[in-house]
Amino acid sequence: MKCIILPDKFDYDGSQISSLWAYNSFGVQEDSIIVFRGACDVKIEHMIDLEDRRANESIWSEDMVSFIIEHFDSTDLKLVYARQRLFTAIVGEYLSGLGVYTSREGDDLFLKGKKLTVSIASTSAVSQKIHFGINVSHEVYGNLREAGIGDDESIVRFMQEIGEAYVREFEDIEKDLRKSRPLGVV
């Protein structure tokens, strides 16, 4: 699995959730997590969550860290939702290590009762995709600045360490798969 941190501002508009976006944009053909920081403004045509779409909800942030994850080993929707929640737990655990205590409801993290993150997971014919966004600043919702993680250096470290933690988790899973004997085999 490959982790790429984009060094320049890059806005999320929802099109990045499409299959093979990492390959089309960066030549990455393996499982990947692409991390970037920029504004978020998801147009209705890119909205995956049908409840949000039917309610004509807007998903926006003036400053957000986005994680785009793609796995090619399955197109199982239940598995990608489990991976999405694992990622959410990794982010919550990382923040807790910094003394920032969040609560988790499904795939969302909350800071002092205010929603801190947005996330969606889906599948295509070739892969599973996850977008996980966390507000750096926001007038209405929870954000990293309120949590004391607002300077550029801290945000870059946050992006790098979360991306690497997810990669390590999957490397460890792969290692465990290769050391476990099947049931019924002596």
Question: Would you say residue 50 has pLDDT above 70?
Answer: no
Question: Rounded to two decimals, what is the model's pTM?
Answer: 0.93
The predicted structure's pLDDT at residue 48: 63
CATH of the domain at 14: 3.30.930.10
The domain tally of the chain equals 1
Assess if residue 181 is contained within a domain. Answer: no
Assess if residue 183 is contained within a domain. Answer: no
DSSP-derived secondary structure for 16-72: GGSTTHHHHHH---SSEEEEEEEEEEE-GGG---HHHHHTT--EEEEEEEEEEEEE-
* Mean pLDDT, rounded, of the chain: 92
Assess if residue 182 is contained within a domain. Answer: no
The predicted structure's pLDDT at residue 150: 81
Domain that holds residue 100: 2-172
Question: Would you say residue 111 has pLDDT above 60?
Answer: yes
